[in-house]
Amino acid sequence: MREESGLLNVVDVEATCWAGEPSVGAVSEIIEIGLTVVDVGARRRVSRHRILVRPTRSEVSAFCTELTGLTQGEVEGGVTFAEACRTLVEEYGAGRRPWASWGDYDRRQFERQSRAEGVAYPFGRPVERDHTNVKAVFTAAYGLRRRPGMDRALQIAGLPLEGRHHRGEDDAWNIAALVLDLVHRGAWPATA
């Protein structure tokens, strides 16, 4: 992965979800991509972005709306998954910049949905080394036995939760704050 001017894309996705089993034929699909650009060298968050994605094989359940605040009507105004991936590449340097997320869920969801929809994976090669799992780095840096959720990690680091938890744009912003905490501690991987 070629680093682009010390910039890092921190990504968080929200996807369709259900309290129990999904309806027949429905699958979990990305409905929001939150992205915060971090300038690792300058140790600051540069910008925050939100891409709403229109699901095609599922609908936003009441449970999903309660969790994320996103409604079916709102995401119907979004772009296709293919358009969202194109935007990530063309506007936010996906595939050229390193990227990170809290855990591996986001990476795996992009891999699954890219395969299912025949869309080019936006981050280059879909392999783990092109992605940094912030949760794993945080857990090791703080000497924790168990990997905490993002909201708990913010508490451990003494950082505020900004915005709404389980909202992609806000979660990416908060994860970026945790990345910067790790950079300040000297715990952020040099290759990330």
Q: How far apart are CA 121 and CA 86, in angstroms?
A: 10
DSSP-derived secondary structure for 146-176: SPPPHHHHHHHHT----S-TT-HHHHHHHHH
- Under 8 Å between Cβ of 154 and 13: no
So where are the chain's domains?
A: 7-184
Q: pLDDT of 152-192, one tens digit each?
A: 999 999 999 999 999 999 999 999 999 999 999 999 998 65
Fold for the domain defined by 7-184: Nucleotidyltransferase; domain 5 (3.30.420)
| Six-digit token string for 148 | 């905490």
pLDDT class of 4 with cuts at 50, 70, 90 = low
99-101 vs 131-133, strand pairing mode: parallel
The pTM (predicted TM-score) of the whole model is 0.94
Q: pLDDT of 107-161, one tens digit each?
A: 999 999 999 999 999 998 765 568 999 999 999 999 999 999 999 999 999 999 9
Residue 3 has pLDDT above 90, yes or no: no
| Six-digit token string for 47 | 């910008």
Q: Identity (one letter) of the amino acid at 127?
A: V
Q: How far apart are CA 149 and CA 72, in angstroms?
A: 26
Q: How far apart are CA 192 and CA 189, in angstroms?
A: 5
